[in-house]
Amino acid sequence: MAQKKSNAARRQPTRAKLPKPPKRYGEFVRRFPALADAWDALNEAGAEGPLDSRTRRLLKIAIAMGAMREGAVRSGARKALAEGITLDEIEQLVPLAAATIGLPAAVACWSWVLEALDPK
């Protein structure tokens, strides 16, 4: 039976191409390692299946928009851009979500995307 990779080994290849996570995230992971392990397991389980990583990333952003999870929208947008997904592709999620979440919520999601990718 193959031995499972440690959390650090599992996260390392992905982190190499993704933006550096916020300082508080690192502190949280060190303070609550069991939650970090569980989070990694959820992400690994969600990655199993026929969807490619690009589609999964866009879906996760869209789901975050539908749930109005500002932090997840911002984080997902930064990760998507780092993975080669264009701003146009990310922005297309906003009008797709608008019919479900409403115009004011869509405007909020669009502003989160733009601010995350150009935090002036």
**Domain ranges (residues) in the chain:** 15-48, 51-120
Q: Tell me the CATH number for domain 51-120.
A: 1.20.1290.10
- Residue 34 to residue 29: CA distance in whole angstroms: 8
Provide the residue count of the chain: 120
> Quick one: which H or E segment has residue 113?
helix 103-117
> Quick one: which H or E segment has residue 66?
helix 53-66
Tokens of 58: 């866009």
**pLDDT tens sequence across 49-100:** 999 999 999 999 999 999 999 999 999 999 999 999 999 999 999 999 999 9
- Residue 111 to residue 70: CA distance in whole angstroms: 10
Provide the whole-model pTM: 0.79
- Residue 105 to residue 100: CA distance in whole angstroms: 9
